[in-house]
Amino acid sequence: MSQKIEAAGLAVNGMQMRWDAPEFKIGAFTNPDPKIRRQAIELTKRGIDAGREFGASLMTLWMGQDGFDYCFQADYKKIWEDAVSAVREVAEYAPDVDISIEYKPNEPRAYSIFPNVTTCLLAVEEAGCANLGITLDFAHVLFANEIPAFAAAMVARRSRLMGLDLNDGWGKRDDGLMVASVNPRADAGIPLADAA
């Protein structure tokens, strides 16, 4: 595969982990079953190794399954510690690879463990790894009711901005729309767009 990518004149700069398999339905890094948590961590390490084979120097963690669905469903202190510990272990496993957390307020879980820039900054600080940072997904930032430029400025103050997913959305869910597809208009023959 890497030869085909190279032959096409392309390069892989990074990969993203998603834990969509049924066993991770109630969490990957925050799953109440320690065996499932271990499986998620080891799968992530294998993903990093696969990325290295393609020359990737970035692994983005989208932890959509990590969180809870209703109040008092989880021991919040424990799932926070489990999530930060897992992220730290992954980052320590691959000091030569940048590990980036991409946050989202919810979906598929009702409440994500890392729902906004502030909690991500706290997680990065607590993990304490030089190769750890944050990816801003534009639609997720809007979904979190944040101002994208301000979120980026906060990341720059305390961490490293490792990725920027450019897409668009209406702000109340993860629409995943094309960049500048919300509120398009034409002005004097020049196409313009405003992001919601």
Q: Could you say which residues of the chain have pLDDT below 50?
A: 186-196
pLDDT of residue 191: 41
17: in domain: yes
pLDDT of residue 114: 98
Distance in angstroms (rounded) separating the CA atoms of residues 18 and 129:
21
pLDDT of residue 190: 44
Do residues 142 and 104 lie in contact, with contact meaning Cβ atoms separated by under 8 Å? no
129: in domain: yes
41: in domain: yes
87: in domain: yes
178: in domain: no
pLDDT of residue 83: 99
92: in domain: yes
Domain hosting residue 71, numbered range: 2-165
Tally the domains of the chain: 1
190: in domain: no
DSSP per position, 58-88: EEEEE-TTSEESSTTSS-HHHHHHHHHHHHH
**Cis preceding-peptide flag for 34 (omega within 30 of 0):** no
Distance in angstroms (rounded) separating the CA atoms of residues 57 and 69:
34
Distance in angstroms (rounded) separating the CA atoms of residues 97 and 109:
28
Q: Write the CATH number for 22.
A: 3.20.20.150
The CA-based angle 143-148-24, given to 5 degrees, is 45
30: in domain: yes
